[in-house]
Structure 1
Amino acid sequence: MATPPQPPPGSVLDFLLNEPRYVPIFERIVHHLSPVDLVRFRRVNRALNAAVSTALRTQWSIDKALAHYFKDPEAFRNVLGQVSGVLSGGFALRFFDRLSNEEGEVWCRDLDVFVWGKQPETELLTEYVRKEGHVSPQTITEEPTTVSAYPSSPLSQLRDTSTPQVERYELPTSDHAINIIFTPSPPIITVLVLKGLFPLTAFANIITSTKAYAPFAKWTFKAHRSYLLGPDSGGSNITPSLAICAATGREVHDVEIASQKRPQPHLGIRSLGDGQTWCIPLTTEGVTPPQLPDFVVDGTSFMIRARESGLFGRFGGAANQHTDFYDVKVKEVEHVALEHPWIGLQEVKKRVHSALVLQLMAMPKETRPVDLEKFGVDSVMAQPKAFEPLSWLDGLVLEWVEEMTG
């Protein structure tokens, strides 16, 4: 096999291909490159993949970012994976913006941790936070007795009991704080729907213990814009979110102007594993595999579409009466034939059910674990652990999601 031509000594390409020899200089140069520039680098020369991978590992270091809040970031990430929690809000936005590694940068004071409130394992998270030295939990309820020390945080304005409940932990030796948000549904749903929390697309980023996802990367990091997200985007909770977004230099609009000449692939059926999502694999040395596998999170499917102002109000629901906004549709996808709890569209659950029914139909009637005439997609016997299926169908979910988003 012929040896590919080598770049001339002293060229920029030679410098990038030998980045370990020039670590300090490499770090400073790459820091000034946008994510779009890094993607373009990959297209220039395949050999640059190593340099780009190094940049992702060093410029977007989750452990450095979490070191502002925890003595042992890896231990915290292990607990986060155990409870299937996610990080989002201002912290996640600033992480993608790489502000955590800038010397002298005032880092985001609040770390917002989302965890499903109904899971008994959530106590592991609160216990670890206390163990790290965070004290004075303040629960924000419908009638709060205390107010957040940082009124700039959208979480300080949560009042309605229908919204996620928040416990705030503060570090006595610094101005950093941790908000543990107990969500009424899986945390990824809460982040994507953003009901009453951070009603802007720029905040709909998700960081698990092993990966970071930016579903609206084109808007947030290429166009440097944010759009209204969710029917509650016209409420008072948006005021602090607008301030945080403005501090990052991003313009805020209601929705993108539709154009027949300019397709909008980021609308319609999407997934966290599609080509529109910016996904960063995090370093996993010292981090145990999370309870919810990466491939399940990658396969999260959802639908996003533009809504007219006041549309929800005409049907009796909450509404943004003044501006158009984007709305996300996503639900829990749990079924007896699925080993893991998925998040996605109802269509996925229907296809899982149909695939299982076809398996059962191939069995003699007397050996079937259920009566097919009573086996509806939402029946009791279709719920998780109702019986032992012949095989798990999780692998098919990924295939279907790729078909829907392809």
Structure 2
Amino acid sequence: MQSGGENDGLGLRYLLCQYPIRSCIFRYLDTRSILNLCRTSSAFRGDIYSYLWDINEKLERFFRNPTAFRTALGRADGLIAGSFALQFFANRFWPESDLDINLRDGEGVEILGKYLVEAEGYEMVRNQDLEVIDYDQFIRLRDIEKIITFAKSRDGNGSSPELKVQLVATKNHPIVAILGTYYTSCIVNFISWNKAYCIFPRATLLYGETVPLTEPCDYDVALHNKYSKRGWRVRTRSVNFKPGSANLLRGDLHPLGTCLNVDRRIGGSDTWTMKLGTAGVAPPPQPDSVLDYSSFSLWVTGGVQLDDPLADGCRVTINIEIFKSPSLRYQHTYGSLRPFWSFVGDVLVGNLHGQLKTKMIRSTAESIISTSWRVWDCEFVKPDGWDYWDDWIPEAFEAFNATS
């Protein structure tokens, strides 16, 4: 049905724009039905996205000025994760939930902490350096330095329950802590200053399933029960995959996307990446491609069966590692060094040697190379005019995959 403007009083789009009707209809639609409705026309999609997935409206619960907060979030290279990100994608609301922001320890933590106190009226109530008690806790917290909690009352005068924002300070890029240590698949979602990412949209939003991602331990029992009560079926194997119905090397139709130890690009087709409106939000220096073209891999252990990677006794884990180079301004991630990131590493090592020879005196260049057993990880003061290749990564990825 085509919209004819203000006179198409009985048009479907017109009806869905009327708040009482729209609110009533969407209350009974699941995510699959909503996304199918979005596919009917670009106009519908725009209307539905602005109604259901308005990030500024969702953030108003915690921040007086959501666009200013998102500017600060971008400057700090922070990622909103945890239950807030899941609520955003699933159109749920849990009044008791906090807002968690993962960001690298250092300047970013100072930027965002200062913003919360000075611009939003929060008070720092806890600065917790993490202490590892046992092996399970070590695995979970290995990428986290500390957690800083900020709080304020909802109405500003202390008579209502607290709002809490937690800054989770990480050792490396915050995406490593999110993908590498989260315990179940439904919470592997995050929001940057201008995009929202749902890593397992089929399982999480279409099938309402969540698959454990860490070794079972007593600490996780209450966490798994929490998401069971919130509507996600905790599966040790996915029931929405029929063995032999898909090419698993490509991840066709599988609820978790690409499996069998194949690298997945964070901004790739298996991820639901939603662009967010950026009016009034100042962009940060770090380009989107750093996150979009980083990757990870799903590892299946415990007797993998080619026709069903989640057969009984198998366990899925996420592998994600830091990729860095003196020729890159920003940290990227990989799941497996081969084949793409191995190619990138070879190119960047050659670039590094070339730059050292042309932009530094010979004795200094030779000293850096000879004393660095891992040349891609060596630290030194870059001379003026040092060339960074971060903008080459997307081009290299597209060209590499076109020929492989």
| 2:275 alignment partner in structure 1 | 281
Greater mean alpha carbon deviation, residues 181-190 or residues 375-384: 375-384
Q: 1:161 to 1:49 in 2, by over 3 A?
A: closer
| 1:334 alignment partner in structure 2 | 324
Residue of 94, 97, 100 corresponding to 1:109: 97
| 1:206 alignment partner in structure 2 | 190
Q: 1:388 to 1:305 in 2, by over 3 A?
A: farther
CA–CA distance in structure 2, aligned partners of residues 365 and 287 of structure 1: 38
Q: 1:177 to 1:356 in 2, by over 3 A?
A: closer
The 3-state SS of whatever aligns with 1:121 is helix
Shift of 1:40: 3.1
Greater mean alpha carbon deviation, residues 287-296 or residues 267-276: 287-296
| 2:152 alignment partner in structure 1 | 171
Give the TM-score normalised by structure 1. 0.75
CA–CA distance in structure 2, aligned partners of residues 275 and 178 of structure 1: 31
Q: 1:389 to 1:301 in 2, by over 3 A?
A: farther
Q: Which amino acid aligns with 2:344?
A: V
CA–CA distance in structure 2, aligned partners of residues 383 and 349 of structure 1: 20
CA–CA distance in structure 1, aligned partners of residues 355 and 61 of structure 2: 61
CA–CA distance in structure 1, aligned partners of residues 334 and 139 of structure 2: 28
Shift of 1:349: 4.7
Shift of 1:219: 0.9
Q: Which amino acid aligns with 1:54?
A: D
Q: 1:28 to 1:130 in 2, by over 3 A?
A: same
CA–CA distance in structure 2, aligned partners of residues 140 and 356 of structure 1: 38
| Aligned alpha-carbon RMSD (Å) | 3.9
CA–CA distance in structure 2, aligned partners of residues 355 and 77 of structure 1: 35
Residue of 98, 110, 132 corresponding to 1:123: 110
Conservation of the 8 A alpha-carbon contact between 1:334 and 1:341:
yes
Shift of 1:72: 1.5
Q: 1:385 to 1:332 in 2, by over 3 A?
A: farther
* Structure 2 residue 377 is the aligned partner of structure 1 residue 393: no
CA–CA distance in structure 1, aligned partners of residues 358 and 143 of structure 2: 46
- Runs of 4+ off more than 6 Å: 7-13, 157-161, 363-366
| 2:200 alignment partner in structure 1 | 216
The 3-state SS of whatever aligns with 1:113 is strand
| 1:135 alignment partner in structure 2 | 123
Aligned length: 362
Structure 2: gaps of 5 or more residues: 252-256, 304-311
Q: Which amino acid aligns with 1:122?
A: V
Give the TM-score normalised by structure 2. 0.75
Structure 1: gaps of 5 or more residues: 101-105, 145-156, 310-321
Shift of 1:338: 2.2
The 3-state SS of whatever aligns with 2:88 is helix
| 1:154 alignment partner in structure 2 | none
Conservation of the 8 A alpha-carbon contact between 2:359 and 2:383:
no
Conservation of the 8 A alpha-carbon contact between 2:324 and 2:331:
yes
Conservation of the 8 A alpha-carbon contact between 1:335 and 1:349:
no
Conservation of the 8 A alpha-carbon contact between 1:271 and 1:401:
no
Conservation of the 8 A alpha-carbon contact between 2:39 and 2:45:
no
| 1:15 alignment partner in structure 2 | 12
The 3-state SS of whatever aligns with 2:316 is strand
The 3-state SS of whatever aligns with 2:298 is strand
Q: 1:91 to 1:235 in 2, by over 3 A?
A: same
CA–CA distance in structure 2, aligned partners of residues 25 and 180 of structure 1: 39
Conservation of the 8 A alpha-carbon contact between 1:92 and 1:206:
yes
Q: Percent identity?
A: 20
* Structure 2 residue 370 is the aligned partner of structure 1 residue 378: no
